Amino acid sequence: MHIRLINPNTTAAMTAKIGAAAERVAAAGTRISATNPEAGPVSIESHFDEAISAVGVLDEIRRGDAQGVDAHVIACFGDPGLLAARELSAAPVIGIAEAAFHFAALISTRFSVVTTLGRTAIIAEQLLHNYGFAQHCRKVRAAEIPVLELEHDSACALERIIAECRRAKAEDGIGAIVLGCAGMAEHSAEIGAAVGLPIVDGVSAAVKLAESLVALGLRTSKHGDLAFPPPKPFRGRFDYLGC
C-alpha cells in the first residue's frame, strides 16, 4: 500500500518531519512518500495562504494518481483543497483535521484543539462546524506561535504548546486534545506524557484512516458532487489543465 502525504506548504524540512511522523505509525506493509508543492507559501496561516496552497495540493494529487498511489493525505490542519482533491481522485483523500476530529470523538465525549495562532483557531472553528464536530469541541486554543517556529525554535514552541494543553486540561472539562498543526506531529508522544491526556495528532490519524479505507476497498464516490470535474478549456497559467 502506498500513501502519498502532501504537505501543502513549501518548507521541505517540515515535509520530512511530517513524513517521519507518518512512517512511525504506518503498518509494516505501508509505504509513505512525503511531498510538497514546488510553489506556494512557506507556511499556512491564513485563508489566503490556504487558497494559494490548494493549487499546489491539487497538482500533487494529480502526480500521485499518475504514480498509482493508493491514498492521499493532506497534511495541513486547514485541510486546504480537500473537496477539490476528492473530485480529482478516485483514491481516498484524507484531511488531517477531519481525521483528528473523528478520532477524538471516538475516545472522548469532549475535546479541545490546541493550534498555533489565534487567526487559525478561527479557521479550525469553521472546520469543526462544517464537519459536524462543533458540539464535541469545548474550545479551540492558540499557543500563539508562528508555524515556522516549530522548525526554528522547536524547544520554545513545544513548551508553549504543552502549557496551553495543560490549561485546556484544567479549564475545559475535556477528555482529549487535538493538535491543530501538522508540524506538531513529531511531538505528540512527548506532549501526551507531559499533559496526561490522550493527544490526537491528525497526521497519524489520517494515515490510519487511509490504510483502513484502502484495506476495505473503499474509494472516493464518483456519483454526485465528488464526480470527476467536467472537462473544459483552461486559459493562462492553468492551460495545462484543459481538455
DSSP code string of 128-141: HHHHT-GGGEEEEE
Burial class, 45, CB count within 10 angstroms (exposed 0-12 / middle 13-18 / buried 19+)? buried
- For the chain, the average pLDDT equals 96
Residue 239 lies in a domain: no
Find the CATH number of the domain harbouring 218.
3.40.50.12500
CA distances from 49 to 56, 123, 178, 188 (A): 11, 12, 22, 25
CA distances from 84 to 44, 56, 115, 226 (A): 18, 12, 24, 8
What confidence tens digit (pLDDT) does each residue in 201-215 have? 999 999 999 999 999
Strand-pair partners of 33: 4
Overall average pLDDT of the 17-32 stretch: 97
The range of the structural domain enclosing residue 164 comes to 97-203
The pLDDT, as a whole number, for residue 243 is 66
The pLDDT, as a whole number, for residue 56 is 97
Q: Give the predicted TM-score (pTM) of the model.
A: 0.95
Which candidate, 3, 72, 77, places its Cα nearest to that of 33?
3
Residue 242 lies in a domain: no
> 63 φ, ψ to 5°?
-65, -45
Label residue 242 by pLDDT band (50, 70, 90).
confident
Residue 162 lies in a domain: yes
Overall average pLDDT of the 36-53 stretch: 96
